[in-house]
Amino acid sequence: MRRVFVHNRVVRRVAGMAGTLFGVAVFVFVMLRAIPGNQITAGLGTEAAALTPVQREALERYYGLDQSLFTQFFSWLGNMFTGNFGYSARSQQSVLDLTLHSLPVTFELAVFSIVLALLIGVPLGMLSASRTNSPRDALGQVVSLAGLSVPAFLLATTLLSIFASSFGFNPNGQGFASLFENPLLNVEQMFLPALVLGFGIAAPILRTTRTAVLEVRSNDFIRTARAKGVPPRRLQVRHVLGNALVPIVTMTGLQFGYLLGGAVVVEQIFSIPGIGRQVLLGIQQKEYAVVQSTVLVIALAFVIVNLLTDILYRVIDPRVRAS
Amino acid sequence: MSRGVFSAIGIAAALSISLTSCSSSSGPATTTGAAGTTGGNLVVGVTSDPDTLFPWKATQFQAVNVLQNIYGTLTEFDKDLNVVPGLAESWKTSKDGRTLTFVLRQGVTYGDGSAFDSKDVTSSLKAIMDESTAAVAATSLASVKSVDAPDEHTVVLKLSGPDAALPANLATINMAMLSSDDTEEKLNTAPNGTGPFTMKKRVASQSITLARNDKYWGAEKPKLDGVEFRVIPDESSIVSAMQSGNVQLAIFNDPLVAQTAQGGSITIAKTPQLNYHALQLNTRRGGLDDVNVRLAIQCAIDRKQVLDTAALSEGEVTGPITSPAFKSDPQQRPCPTRDLAKAAEYLGKAGKPNGLTVKAIVSQGEYATSVNEGQNLKAQLAEAKITLDLEVLESGAFVDRWVAGDFDAAVALNGGRPDPDGMYGRYFTSKGNLNKVAGYSSPELDKLFAEGKATTDPAARKEIYGKVSAELENNAAWIWLFTGYTYTGTTSQVKGFVPMASGSLQYLRTTTLN
């Protein structure tokens, strides 16, 4: 009986995910075609006005624009299932190849950013909560306000120009090094962008931590623990932080999912060849296959991260499991 | 190999040598072809990846810049945009102007080692003319009736009429001479040309690396061992990459960025561009069919003010023709300076003393100053009772409307060309393939453009295009505003590079790194 129940829930969950992805697919497909211009005008610009009808037809055939929208959509989606994500006319590579190169880059950047964000956000949040309305609380407020309000592009360009012109430190001006080719250079290249992204994300994590810690501390079991003589450090880490983790994990998971597609600006400024930049270039060039397939991959990653977050807080919090 | 090869390219070489020796004393002024000095690997910062590697379809700036170093054309431009020999060492026009005979350079090879000959030229020209290949330069060959190769080193073009602009039109990379053994599919990933560099490596959206072509036909061999075009999407990031020594050369569009880059080890050279900013008027729509309305608009606009307020004074007020050899005098037009009384007078003549409303499309993001230009024009015209109704469009939407000729007026940045026929013949002749977009033609212009094509004497041609320019401005077909600059940033190690008005990087072949 219980097994059937679990089984149903898994099926429902998977169906929900598939539905979400299909919705994303339709939405992206439609939106992309709602943007004026196509691959021909994107490539030729105003020069496209000089094309004769025969030339235009030849180009439409080349890009597959002569097919009906219905055919375009289902042949693309059908091909996705067979692992054919389409082809980028710009770089003359399959979208799958491009994605396999860019996704790990963004994934690494996201992990790096989240680690920095947690290193900044959680201790500061706990510090803030340790005494409300004190100078240390104010410090937390200032950091989180700065993190939320300083735009990433501003922080990125400022850091880049300070490091480049004052210290001659600009690993990003060199060709991009992958983690496996040249780990040291790779970490150098990732550091500033991860710091920029991490600083932005540290703010919500700091606030969440502060609120959660305050809430947990007001619970009876903390008072009980303290009365039983649990040492303060153990109380802070094991009892307070342990119980405050659920909202922090949720927040972190959300931010991580967001980073997978949302790091575009930072990738652009630091020339990190990640997946956000791939989508941006695709939109600029109206490379339909690139945008559609990449967005779907990002959506899939987002859905998976969400699922993992769910599973993770089931592990952390027995109450979620019970319900 | 014949001695003639060297004498023919002497002109081109002499020009580039005289120029390089101005810009550097230790540069490649003496050329013995001696091995020994290695040129090093130059890194060029570019904001985006070429959108295609197939030269016949490349119109994007970055693609043209890369491909120009890999492929060769029958004719070339020198630094002043004069037409000089390229893969053709000489050419001759018959007396009636209907036959053009090219003598091809000998001993030229492609990157893959195969020899270049007349077969490659005939197959290339025929394919460019074939509409199904969708080569963008097809219309530049409209006057060509047949292409024949009597022998390996001669190509004869039979023309439907004289076409003095043809040699210049053949110099663009869209007219690259491809090997007859190659296919578009193959060249999309593996370019194979006769240029000073060959393609070595490409990492999508990150970099393109070229290697020196040791078999390059030029008397002066390229010096650099290699050139890497490194994609750094943000112009200010390119500046910091130059400051830290990772990048040695870059072309900037944004005057603000160029200003911040100047100083330290970076030198910025300003080059006036062929591109021009204009308020395009579609004389077939709105109230703009009346020449008096158009002249009123022309009189109400202070071009210097547009340049100063919208583009930080970075540029020059211009008339229609921007190439150095044929340049228009910007003062030769009704109302060379702003004259509101005159504008009112023209409006009165048009029977619209209380003014009128003109709708204009403006692109957002296609180039930095567009919206500011639109705003300034609107403010100036308002003082002459002309309401400029701005419709700001995303650049894709702008291009769509522009290409369809679906606008009354357009704030536009148009590409220029070295030859005035190539530049405006397609817009302002009644059969020009961009006439729908230009929105204006007249029997006088048709006649003048035909004359310009039929005349080979440069001085006579200059006079004819002077008349074209006057005809366009007297009728205020469009309102020409100004030309901007390109900014070439180089670090102190770079010697021998010559920036061109076309923004071309063809002089990478004379560049060295110290």
Tell me which chain A residue has its CA closest to the CA of residue B131: A55
Of B51, B53, B234, nearest to A285 by CB-CB distance is B51
Tell me which chain A residue has its CA closest to the CA of residue B399: A46
Contacts 24+ apart (CB under 8 A), B400-406: B400/A36, B400/A37, B400/A41, B401/B361, B402/A46, B402/A49, B402/B361, B402/B437, B403/A41, B403/A46, B403/A48, B403/A49, B403/B437, B404/B436, B405/A49, B405/B282, B405/B436, B405/B437, B405/B439
- Residue B9: the pLDDT is 34
Rounded to 5 degrees, φ, ψ at A231 are -60, 150
- Could you tell me what percent of chain A has a pLDDT over 70? 97
- Residue B17: the pLDDT is 33
Query: A52 and B233: CB-CB below 8 Å?
Result: no
Q: Is B243 on the interface with A (CB under 8 A)?
A: yes
- B333-378 pLDDT, tens per residue? 999 999 999 999 999 999 999 999 999 999 987 787 899 999 999 9
Tell me which chain B residue has its CA closest to the CA of residue A167: B244
- Residue B36: the pLDDT is 40
Instruction: Tell me the shortest Cα–Cα distance from B139 to chain A, in angstroms.
Output: 8
The residues facing B488 across adjacent strands are B251, B269
At residue A312, does pLDDT exceed 50? yes
The residues facing B280 across adjacent strands are B410, B478
Half-sphere exposure of B173 (CA within 13 A, CB side): 27
Average pLDDT over residues A40-69: 88
- Residue B35: the pLDDT is 41
Instruction: Tell me the shortest Cα–Cα distance from B257 to chain A, in angstroms.
Output: 12
Contact B121, B155 (CB under 8 A): yes
B319 Rama class: left (phi>0) / alpha (psi -120 to 50) / beta: beta
- Residue B21: the pLDDT is 33
Pairing state of beta strands B249-252 and B41-46?
parallel
Q: Is B134 on the interface with A (CB under 8 A)?
A: yes
Cα–Cα nearest to B457, from B23, B191, B97: B97
Instruction: Tell me the shortest Cα–Cα distance from B463 to chain A, in angstroms.
Output: 28
Q: In B, residues 169-228, which contact A (CB 8 Å cutoff)? A: 188-189, 202-207, 228
Of A36, A52, A91, nearest to B400 by CB-CB distance is A36
Angle at B99 between CA B98 and CA B102, to 5 degrees: 150
Query: B49 and A270: CB-CB below 8 Å?
Result: no
Pairing state of beta strands B494-495 and B485-491?
unpaired
| Interface size between A and B, measured as CB pairs under 8 A | 157
Strand, helix or coil at A291?
Answer: helix
Q: Is A184 on the interface with B (CB under 8 A)?
A: no
What confidence category does residue A163 fall into, taking pLDDT thresholds of 50, 70 and 90? confident
Instruction: Tell me the shortest Cα–Cα distance from B329 to chain A, in angstroms.
Output: 27
Owner of token pair 């339909």: A288
Contact A168, B245 (CB under 8 A): yes
Query: A268 and B234: CB-CB below 8 Å?
Result: yes
What confidence category does residue A78 fall into, taking pLDDT thresholds of 50, 70 and 90? very high
Q: Is B232 on the interface with A (CB under 8 A)?
A: yes
Distance CA B205, CA B294 (A): 45
Q: 10 Å Cβ neighbour count for B95?
A: 6
What confidence category does residue A231 fall into, taking pLDDT thresholds of 50, 70 and 90? confident
Q: Is B131 on the interface with A (CB under 8 A)?
A: yes
Tell me which chain B residue has its CA closest to the CA of residue A154: B236
- Could you tell me what percent of chain B has a pLDDT over 90? 73
Cα–Cα nearest to B414, from B430, B394, B392, B399: B399
- Residue B220: the pLDDT is 84
- Residue B147: the pLDDT is 96
- Residue A190: the pLDDT is 94
- Residue B16: the pLDDT is 36
- Residue A11: the pLDDT is 85
- Residue B368: the pLDDT is 79
Q: 10 Å Cβ neighbour count for A306?
A: 17
Of B133, B206, B414, nearest to A273 by CB-CB distance is B206
Q: Which residues of B touch A105 (CB under 8 A)?
A: none
State in Å, rounded, how far the first CA of chain B is from the last one: 33
Q: Which residues of B touch A42 (CB under 8 A)?
A: 51, 396
Distance CA B484, CA B318 (A): 10
Of B204, B234, B246, nearest to A91 by CB-CB distance is B204
Which residues in B48-87 belong to E strands, given as ranges?
75-77, 83-85
What confidence category does residue B265 fall into, taking pLDDT thresholds of 50, 70 and 90? confident
Cα–Cα nearest to A113, from A193, A230, A48: A193
Give Dmax over CA atoms of chain B in angstroms: 76
Query: A49 and B59: CB-CB below 8 Å?
Result: no
Q: Which of A170, A172, A280, A294 to mutate to test the interface with B (most CBs of B within 10 A)?
A: A170
At residue B286, does pLDDT exceed 90? no
Q: Which residues of B touch A283 (CB under 8 A)?
A: none
Of B203, B231, B396, nearest to A41 by CB-CB distance is B396
What confidence category does residue A6 fall into, taking pLDDT thresholds of 50, 70 and 90? low
- B238-259 pLDDT, tens per residue? 999 998 889 999 999 888 889 8
- b/e burial code for range A101-116 (CB count within 10 A of at least 16 → b): bbbebbbbbbebbbeb
Of A36, A41, A49, nearest to B394 by CB-CB distance is A36
- Residue B511: the pLDDT is 94
What confidence category does residue A323 fall into, taking pLDDT thresholds of 50, 70 and 90? low
Q: Is B459 on the interface with A (CB under 8 A)?
A: no
Contacts 24+ apart (CB under 8 A), B367-372: B367/B253, B367/B413, B368/B253, B368/B254, B369/B277, B369/B310, B369/B311, B369/B484, B370/B411, B370/B413, B372/B309, B372/B310, B372/B311
- A212-221 pLDDT, tens per residue? 999 988 888 8
The token pair that represents B338 in the structure block: 């702003």
Q: In A, residues 60-99, which contact B (CB 8 Å cutoff)? A: 62, 88-93, 98
At residue A64, does pLDDT exceed 80? yes
The token pair that represents B362 in the structure block: 């403006």
- B214-231 pLDDT, tens per residue? 999 988 889 999 999 999
- Residue A263: the pLDDT is 87
Distance CA B57, CA A58 (A): 12
Distance CA B462, CA B369 (A): 31
Query: B188 and A277: CB-CB below 8 Å?
Result: no
- Could you tell me what percent of chain B has a pLDDT over 70? 93
- Residue A113: the pLDDT is 96
Q: Which of B56, B237, B411, B491 to mutate to test the interface with A (most CBs of A within 10 A)?
A: B237
Distance CA B430, CA B439 (A): 10
Distance CA B478, CA B490 (A): 36
Distance CA A115, CA A113 (A): 5
- Mean pLDDT of all residues belonging to chain B: 89
Burial class (CB in 10 A: 0-12, 13-18, 19+), A7: exposed
Name residues whose C-beta falls within 8 Å of residue B209's C-beta, 6 or more positions apart in sequence. B199, B200, B201, B202, B226, B227, B228, B229
Pairing state of beta strands B409-414 and B485-491?
unpaired
User: What angle do helix axes A288-316 and A95-130 make, rounded to 10 degrees?
Assistant: 40
- Residue B312: the pLDDT is 87
Tell me which chain A residue has its CA closest to the CA of residue B365: A284
A27-31, A187-191, B106-110, B284-288: least confident range: B284-288
Average pLDDT over residues B103-118: 95
Q: Which residues of B touch A275 (CB under 8 A)?
A: none
One-letter amino acid at A221 equals: F
Owner of token pair 């007001």: A218
The model's pTM: 0.87
A57-61, A126-130, B2-6: least confident range: B2-6
Q: In A, residues 255-314, which contact B (CB 8 Å cutoff)? A: 268-271, 273, 277-278, 281, 284-286
What confidence category does residue B18 fall into, taking pLDDT thresholds of 50, 70 and 90? very low
The token pair that represents A93 in the structure block: 């590579």
Contact B249, B43 (CB under 8 A): yes
Q: Which residues of A touch B241 (CB under 8 A)?
A: 164, 170, 172-173
- B455-497 pLDDT, tens per residue? 988 899 999 999 999 999 999 999 999 999 989 999 999 999 9
Runs of H (alpha helix) within B102-180 = 118-129, 166-169
